[in-house]
Amino acid sequence: MDGSFDAGEAIELTRALIREACVNDGTPESGQEIRNVRVLQRFLADAVAAGRVETQVLESAPGRASLIARVRGTDPGAPSLGLLGHLDVVPVDPEGWSRNPFGGDLVDGEVWGRGAVDMLYLTAAFAVVLREVALAPEPPRGDLVLLAVADEEAGGEYGIHWLVQNHPDAIRVDEALSESGGMRMGRHVAIEVAEKGSAGRRLIVRGKPGHASIPYGAESAAYRVGEVLHRLREVMPVAELGPLWSAFVHARIDDPEIAERLLDPVRIDAVLPQLGGIAGYAHAVSRVTISPTVLRAGAVHNVIPAVGTIDLDIRTLPGTTDENVDDLLSAVLGEWAEDVEIEHLRGWAATSSPTDTPLLAAIGRAVEEVAGAPMVPIMAAGGSDARVLRELGIPAYGFGVLGEDWSYERYREGVHGHDERIDARSIELSLAALRRIVADRVG
């Protein structure tokens, strides 16, 4: 395989994927990822025609398609490596953009468009390397599998979850690379090895209804919603510093005094305001977080509401159970706990992959060779399809090697933000590292 930094094909494929505008707004008919499946099919056509790649188009609903492309290895005992990328993107507000969000423009060495960072550049790089392996003079030792899936941006019910339930053999791999890596933590390149879980809850509070023209004697549930919100704002879950925390601190924090305080769960909150743009990430991955997101009370203008609800987006740490979450909410609510009913919403457990696997070691070597920088394993505050593979016992890591000026803060601004774009240098670095990892793991 070519280990060079040439990334012309990956850049052009990224642009083509952006232009298909596979926007997923969470409705069953949105996404229409079949359009990006066709882009990838055209790109892989010569390798398929040569009999080097086996492809399957699997459609969970009309237009909600995923592409599985497998290059067979020669050694049944060699590991199979999955390259897990998604084909959908989140909606845009065109008024916030300087350029056409679906133009795929290449301007001053940057590819512009929705999904450029999240994660079409990586999906393109995965397809490029798969095709290179397929057309190489010698076949690989182990299988290399592109999993280009639908519906990641809305939870994966029409994508990875549906594939696991309906086509488990098609997505069978021993280890995998996916998204949410590559940003710079100081001089380190961050590789995601874990991600927080989700434990949605709805708080239900009750009041005494009445006619809004005669409020005396009634007790609006809207007031109780406000009082519960005030309690949630005033009481913060305590820090729980897990095994990845010290690695993050030592990679990102240069001031030894601040670093020392961050390693103390008692003193961490007092020092968060001194962390600048990384404070939000540090806060998120050091504890369970509770965020009120949807409020409801009342239906008509002239009736004092009897019931109010607060939906909570709760993100959990590895090892946190549903019982732990309910106990935490009771502690946070304090005197309000007996008056609030807690309803469970959709959720999933936090996941993590081992930090001593051959794949992670190969990633570290590739990052060092390509970027001249050490790797640091991190936890993602959000979620990705990689968690589904981890739940199956498959080690999965968030990959990427972004350019030297791609701090975590810049990465977060680019994901789902206005004027999303990725520079050619980051695509080149990621592709070069990916080639080395694939050569290392499947030959």
Q: Average of pLDDT values for 217-234?
A: 94
Cis geometry, peptide bond prior to residue 183 (ω within 30 degrees of 0):
no
| Model confidence, pTM | 0.94
Rounded Cα–Cα distance for residues 205 and 31 (Å): 37
Structure confidence at residue 5 as a pLDDT band (50, 70, 90):
low
Q: What is the pLDDT at residue 6? A: 81
Question: Which H or E element spans position 194?
Answer: strand 188-195
CA distance linking residue 387 with residue 377, whole number of Å: 16
Segments making up each domain of the chain, as ranges: 8-194+351-442, 196-348
Contact between 271 and 262 under an 8 Å Cβ cutoff? The reply is yes
Copy the structure tokens of residue 55.
């492809």
Q: Which fold has domain 196-348?
A: Alpha-Beta Plaits (3.30.70)
Q: Which CATH class is domain 8-194+351-442?
A: alpha beta
E strands, 73-174, in order: 81-86, 106-107, 110-112, 144-149
Q: pLDDT digits over 327-368, tens only?
A: 999 999 998 899 999 999 989 999 999 999 999 999 999 999
Kindly report, residue by residue over 130-148, the tens digit of the pLDDT. Answer: 999 999 999 999 999 999 9
